[in-house]
Structures are given as structure tokens and as C-alpha cells.
């Protein structure tokens, strides 16, 4: 772990060697299953992070602007309730919406430190550099790492901690591991800490599907980007254009899935793993699930993780919610 010092910024980078190993393990595990699967964290190389930012601007992608409007309306109340002086953000990305929280903390006179955690080093460093300029006196301690594996390396809280996990990313976990993950977060909040979760809500499936399959094809590019990551990092030889983007809402499980469907028979080699993978025509590779929530589903998850709801903020159409939680 090597801290790199910029003005006001410390970045601990813990991915370096271990990361490729995780990618290799995930590929070996995921591409040899009956339903082939890859975890969504591997979308986010520099290009993947840029594509995600472009998705956030799309007319079909309602979550970003809806969550931002909710935060605009409730940030001051959240800061007053929590007295937060430190903001830890999981999957911080370009940290655009984060500014709403940081500004509310600055206005309340509590803002001390921001701790972003992301696998995307470029996105984290860029946002950290911008934020110390925008918020004079702010200290940033970033962690380039995997929030599923590296939260033990977070710095100790140095003020009342607010941990946020925005954008509905919690929906990428299937139910069992979601609760396990939330239990782990509860332990990192400190005695007075709170958790702020952005959750996308159950709604018209057509609207959800459009958000994951935009007319301009940016989400399709984002989805296929994971194959480019495998080609570059593991020397795989995926013909990226031979896979089409698929997004559908599973009404029983209430989650949306993104998949890549082979347009024709494909044989792919992954030399780094001495692996050959066959895709039958129209065979699909699942690349993401995104669970849609109800208030009661989230309350049950929080209870299973030793937390309770301390605030529930939503837009008037109830498309998205920002949930404030605290350990019981």
C-alpha cells in the first residue's frame, strides 16, 4: 500500500497486484458456470467510468437526476440529524452528487474529511484533486480498492462518520450477499455513525428497461466494455462486436439484468488462465443485476444487518429513495 501525497490528498492504492488476480479468479469462476457470469466491478476501467458518466446524462437514465434532486432537498436535514464531519463514499466514481452532501456539511460548519473508495483509480484521483480545490480546508483520504474486500483498510473515523453508497449500486448485490455486505458496513460506522443508501425503487418495468437500454447505445457500449477489459488484462480474444447488449426486468425477483448475448457460435481463449470458453449461438453472459427496492425490502435488509431506518427521502413519483440508516 503506497500513499501518494498531493495537496490535501492522500490516496492509498491497494489494488495493484491483487486486482488482476481477482479478475482472473472471477473470470475463471464466472465463465465456467452453466449460466456464465461476471461481477459488475470489472466494467470500470478508465473508459468504463467515462461511459458510466455518459449514461448518467442520458434522458432514459432517471436514477442520477432523481437522486440528485432528492439529495438537494434533504442534504441539510441529513447533516443536521447526523452531525457528520466525515463523509466516506463507496463507489464514489466522479463524485458529482457527493458535492451536495459536502456543501451541506460545509454550510453546517462540520466538514473535515472526505474518504472516497473506488476501484477506478483515475476517477478517484481526478475527483479528489477537484474537491480539495472546491472545498478549502477539506482533507481527502482516498482508497483505491474493492469495497467488498478492502474496507478493513479504511482510516479510523476522525469525526462523526456518514458513509454513503449512492446511485443504487447496493442493488448489484444479490439478496444474501447484500445483507452480509450491509452487516460489514454497520461495523465501520463507529459509535455515532450513519449510512446513507441510494436505492432505486420498483416501478414500471418498461421505464427500468429503457434506463438500461438507451436509444443512443451508450449502455450497450458500457456493457461490452467488460470484454475489452478481459482482452486487455488477460489477453482474451473476445470479438466484442459479436456480442449484443440485452437488458430485461425480472418481475419475479424485481431486478433488472444486463447480459451479453453471442450473435453466433464463439470460441474464446483466455491465455492468462489457459482457458477456452465456448458460447453457443444466442448464449448469454450475465454482467449485472440491479435490484429494485421497496421501503419494506430495505427495512428487512437493514434489520438483518443490525441497522434501522432513521430517514426515508424520496421524489414525489417515488422512483428513487435516499435512505438514512443507523446501527441499532
Ligand X SMILES: C[S@@+](CC[C@H](N)C(=O)[O-])C[C@H]1O[C@@H](n2cnc3c(N)ncnc32)[C@H](O)[C@@H]1O
Give the shortest CB-266-to-ligand X separation in angstroms: 26
Cβ density class 266-286: b for 16+ within 10 Å, e for less: bebebebbebebebeeebbbb
Q: How buried is residue 215: exposed, middle or buried, by Cβ count under 10 Å (0-12/13-18/19+)? A: exposed
For ligand X, the closer CB: 262 or 298: 298
Q: What Rg do the C-alpha atoms of the chain give, in angstroms?
A: 20
Smallest distance from ligand X to CB 207, Å? 18
DSSP symbol at 201: B
C-alpha cell at 197: 443508501
CB of 317 to ligand X, least distance (A): 19
Nearer to ligand X, 82 or 219 (CB): 219
- In this structure, the strands spanning 194-200 and 113-118 are unpaired
- What is the C-alpha separation between 302 and 82, in angstroms, rounded? 18
Of 57 and 308, CB closest to ligand X: 57
Look at the alpha carbons of 90, 103, 193, 4 in this order and tell me if their dihedral is positive or negative.
Answer: positive
Cα–Cα distance for residue pair 42/31, rounded to 1 Å: 14
Nearer to ligand X, 198 or 279 (CB): 198
Q: How far is CA 186 from the centre of its chain?
A: 18
Q: Quick one: 41 or 141, whose CB is closer to ligand X?
A: 41
Cα angle: 1, vertex 86, 145; to 5 degrees: 30
Closer of 118 and 221 to ligand X (Cβ): 118
**Residue 55 near residue 214, CB atoms below 8 Å:** yes
Give least dist CB 294 to ligand X, A: 20
**CB of 10 vs ligand X, minimal distance in Å:** 18
Q: Which is nearer to ligand X, 162 or 268 (CB)?
A: 162
- We find the least distance from the C-beta atom of residue 35 to ligand X, in angstroms, to be 21
| 40, 66 Cβ separation under 8 angstroms | no
Q: How far is the CB of 46 from ligand X (least distance, A)?
A: 10
For the purposes of burial, counting CB atoms within 10 Å of the CB of 297, is it exposed (0-12), middle (13-18) or buried (19 or more)?
middle
Q: What residues make contact with ligand X under the rule CB under 6 A?
A: 41, 44, 49, 52, 56, 64, 91-93, 97, 117-120, 123, 146-148, 166-167, 169
CA dihedral in degrees (202, 205, 208, 213; nearest 10)? 160
Smallest separation, CB 92 to ligand X (Å): 6
Nearer to ligand X, 93 or 142 (CB): 93
List Cβ neighbours of 59 (8 Å cut-off, separation of 6 or more). 214
Looking up cell 462486436 gives 241
**Least separation in angstroms between CB 229 and ligand X:** 12
- Using an 8 Å Cβ cutoff, are 141 and 156 in contact? no
Nearer to ligand X, 197 or 262 (CB): 197
Amino acid at each position: 500500500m503506497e500513499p501518494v501525497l498531493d495537496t490535501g490528498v492522500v490516496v492509498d492504492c491497494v489494488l495493484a497486484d491483487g486486482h488482476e488476480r481477482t479478475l482472473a479468479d472471477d473470470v475463471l469462476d464466472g465463465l465456467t458456470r452453466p449460466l456464465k457470469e461476471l461481477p459488475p466491478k470489472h466494467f470500470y476501467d478508465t473508459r468504463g467510468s467515462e461511459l458510466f458518466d455518459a449514461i448518467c446524462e442520458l434522458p432514459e437514465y432517471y436514477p442520477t437526476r432523481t437522486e440528485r434532486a432528492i439529495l438537494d432537498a434533504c442534504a441539510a436535514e441529513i447533516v443536521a440529524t447526523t452531525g457528520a464531519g466525515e463523509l466516506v463514499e463507496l463507489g464514489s466514481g466522479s463524485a458529482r452528487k457527493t458535492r451536495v452532501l459536502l456543501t451541506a456539511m460545509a454550510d453546517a460548519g462540520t466538514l473535515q474529511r472526505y474518504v472516497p473508495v473506488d476501484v477506478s483509480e483515475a476517477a478517484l484521483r481526478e475527483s479528489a484533486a477537484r474537491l480539495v480545490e472546491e472545498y478549502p480546508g477539506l482533507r481527502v483520504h482516498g482508497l483505491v480498492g474493492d469495497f467488498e474486500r478492502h474496507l478493513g483498510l479504511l482510516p479510523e473515523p476522525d469525526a462523526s462518520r456518514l458513509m454513503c453508497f449512492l446511485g443504487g449500486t447496493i442493488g448489484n448485490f444479490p439478496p444474501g450477499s447484500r445483507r452480509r455486505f450491509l452487516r460489514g458496513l454497520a461495523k465501520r460506522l463507529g459509535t455515532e455513525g450513519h449510512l446513507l443508501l441510494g436505492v432505486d425503487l420498483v416501478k414500471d418495468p418498461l421505464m427500468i428497461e429503457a434506463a438500461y437500454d438507451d436509444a443512443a447505445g451508450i449502455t450497450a457500449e458500457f456493457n461490452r466494455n467488460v470484454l475489452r477489459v478481459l482482452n486487455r488484462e488477460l489477453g482474451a480474444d473476445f470479438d466484442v462486436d459479436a456480442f449484443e447488449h440485452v437488458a430485461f426486468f425480472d418481475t419475479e425477483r424485481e431486478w433488472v439484468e444486463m447480459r451479453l448475448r453471442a450473435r453466433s457460435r464463439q470460441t474464446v481463449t483466455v491465455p492468462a488462465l489457459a482457458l477456452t470458453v465456448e458460447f453457443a449461438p444466442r448464449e448469454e453472459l450475465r454482467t449485472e443485476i440491479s435490484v429494485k427496492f421497496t421501503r419494506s425490502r430495505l427495512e428487512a435488509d437493514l434489520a438483518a444487518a443490525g441497522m434501522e431506518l432513521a430517514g426515508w427521502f424520496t421524489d414525489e413519483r417515488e422512483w428513487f429513495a435516499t435512505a438514512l440508516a443507523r446501527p441499532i
